[in-house]
Structure 1
Amino acid sequence: MPDIYFISDLHLSGQTLAETSNFLAWLPTLKSGDQLYMLGDFFDAWIGDDAAVAPEYQQIIAALTSTSDRGVNLYYMHGNRDFLVGSEVARQAGMRLIAAPHLLRIGQLSLLLLHGDELCTDDAQYQQFRQHVRSPEWQASFLAKPLTERREIANGLRAQSEQQKQIKSMQIMDVNPEAVAALFRAHPDCVMIHGHTHRPACHHVQLDQQTRTRWVLPDWHGQHWGYLHLHQHQLSLHQFEA
């Protein structure tokens, strides 16, 4: 069976030189037939596929294209920062867009993949914002604006998000246990995998007289990076400091 890798929260941009360097160095280690699942916030912000012409993105997209060309299967899920990644850049990079939650069956193993922000239901302000910007109407209006205006809006939203993080409690920005339980009940016998919270761990949840497992992916920050690896039906978390 192929090796499968799960990553999230790289937040790649023109400013994240260490993260980009680590990703570009790691990508060639994947073999033909392997699968790579990018579970959101791969880019720090995405303001439309026409922004892919920027030099900082061209290098990354070229590396993804080269990787898919040599037989690695790439799958891309939207996060809260890159939900506007569209079919054009996916086609260019050789990626398949997948929607959350995505059920992946490997033999007898069932994996439920998502970014994770949808589980942070205690943050009512964010959930309202999420619903607003995910609407087709908002996205159509935003993408119709000039690229420079979209960039200014994105910079403003990012600054606002960073300010909110300073005043919100860590509990509010983490997953809600009831939201986790509801998703587990909707998908019996699944192992859950997500990112977003930047708190890598393997959680075992007692639910309805069963032990359910939830993996949280590591983020890529500075020289810290990592992934979840599925090899011969066994999942393992790998974290590094370059």
Structure 2
Amino acid sequence: MRTLFISDIHLSDQRPDLTRALLHFLDDITGDCDQLYLLGDIFDAWIGDDFVHPDLEPVIHRLAALSESGTALFFQHGNRDFLVGQTFADRINATLLPEEISITLPDGQHALIMHGDQLCIDDTEYQQFRALVRNPAWQANFLSKPLEERLEIARNLRAASKEKTAGKALEIMDVNAERVRTALQNANSQLLIHGHTHRPAVHHQQIDSNSGCRIVLGDWDTDFWYLSCTKDGCELLHQPVETN
């Protein structure tokens, strides 16, 4: 058995190289994969299941084909694609997951998985925004708006996010150590897998000096990152994104 994890691809019509990289990943790396977990921010923005940019349709078709071939797909919302709904999940035959869930890996180890933005509690401004947009009433109101208005709101939100992020200390936007420790202890788990921070690494001693591991998935930019888990354990891997 082989389980793969990816996150933070930020697919958009502005980065065709990332679309090509994901198609390469799906065609050439997932061949012996039993399960593929999409841990959020697969898309740079998602304004509703009723709109997919034509440039991204090949990705949708390839994910659906992968599912049809026998690979189980799972999707967890990120801070950019939190509006992905059941209609999209049905298109690719994926299971929508709650924002935190424990799973069993091929080696028998239990892992807590999440996108990871909920761990960054020191960024209080972002956490307030997160609470707002995750509110079902806010989402229903947004989805009721015409397509062009939603596109404009999404553009403005992305621009505002980039501006605010540029002015924040890196430490504020990283995970909070106590929040990580609490999450692992509450889940009765020794392993946490997440994305969001764009800081790929394997961190040990996350619960105490003798226990707890946190694997951070990388964002897709100059390289594409994925976590491969088999009966022999997990390995964080990356390859260069081809620009042509």
- Per the alignment, residue 88 of structure 1 pairs with 87
Contact 1:12 1:42 in 2 (8 A): yes
Contact 1:198 1:218 in 2 (8 A): yes
- Per the alignment, residue 75 of structure 1 pairs with 74
- Per the alignment, residue 191 of structure 1 pairs with 191
* Cα distance in structure 1, aligned partners of 2:100 and 2:64: 25
Contact 1:4 1:36 in 2 (8 A): yes
* 2:170 partner letter: M
* 2:36 partner letter: L
* Cα distance in structure 2, aligned partners of 1:230 and 1:161: 33
* Cα distance in structure 1, aligned partners of 2:154 and 2:196: 19
Compute the displacement of 1:209 (Å). Answer: 5.7
Contact 1:204 1:211 in 2 (8 A): yes
Contact 2:190 2:211 in 1 (8 A): no
- Per the alignment, residue 20 of structure 2 pairs with 21
TM-score by length of 2: 0.94
Compute the displacement of 1:208 (Å). Answer: 4.7
- Per the alignment, residue 237 of structure 2 pairs with 238
Contact 1:229 1:236 in 2 (8 A): yes
- Per the alignment, residue 229 of structure 1 pairs with 228
Residues 217 and 66 (structure 1 numbering): CA distance in 2 closer, same or farther, change over 3 Å? same
Residues 165 and 217 (structure 1 numbering): CA distance in 2 closer, same or farther, change over 3 Å? same
| 1:148 equivalenced with 2:181 (yes/no) | no
Contact 1:31 1:71 in 2 (8 A): no
Provide Cα deviations, 1:148-195, integer angstroms capped at 9, x if missing partner: 000000000000000011100000000011111111121223310000
* 1:127 partner letter: Q
Where 1:227 maps in the other structure, the secondary structure is strand
Compute the displacement of 1:100 (Å). Answer: 1.8
* 1:12 partner letter: L
Contact 1:37 1:74 in 2 (8 A): yes
After superposition, the CA RMSD in angstroms is 1.3
* 1:205 partner letter: Q
* Cα distance in structure 1, aligned partners of 2:124 and 2:226: 29
| 1:47 equivalenced with 2:82 (yes/no) | no
What is the total number of aligned residue pairs between the two structures?
A: 239
Provide Cα deviations, 1:21-62, integer angstroms capped at 9, x if missing partner: 01101102323662110000000000000012x302312111
Contact 1:109 1:233 in 2 (8 A): no
* Cα distance in structure 1, aligned partners of 2:151 and 2:143: 11
* Cα distance in structure 2, aligned partners of 1:154 and 1:206: 35
Higher mean C-alpha displacement, 98-107 vs 111-120: 98-107
Where 2:51 maps in the other structure, the secondary structure is helix
* Cα distance in structure 2, aligned partners of 1:119 and 1:32: 32
* Cα distance in structure 2, aligned partners of 1:33 and 1:177: 32
* Cα distance in structure 1, aligned partners of 2:208 and 2:69: 44
* Cα distance in structure 2, aligned partners of 1:108 and 1:58: 36
Contact 2:173 2:197 in 1 (8 A): yes
Compute the displacement of 1:241 (Å). Answer: 1.2
Compute the displacement of 1:67 (Å). Answer: 1.1
Where 2:21 maps in the other structure, the secondary structure is helix
- Per the alignment, residue 36 of structure 1 pairs with 36
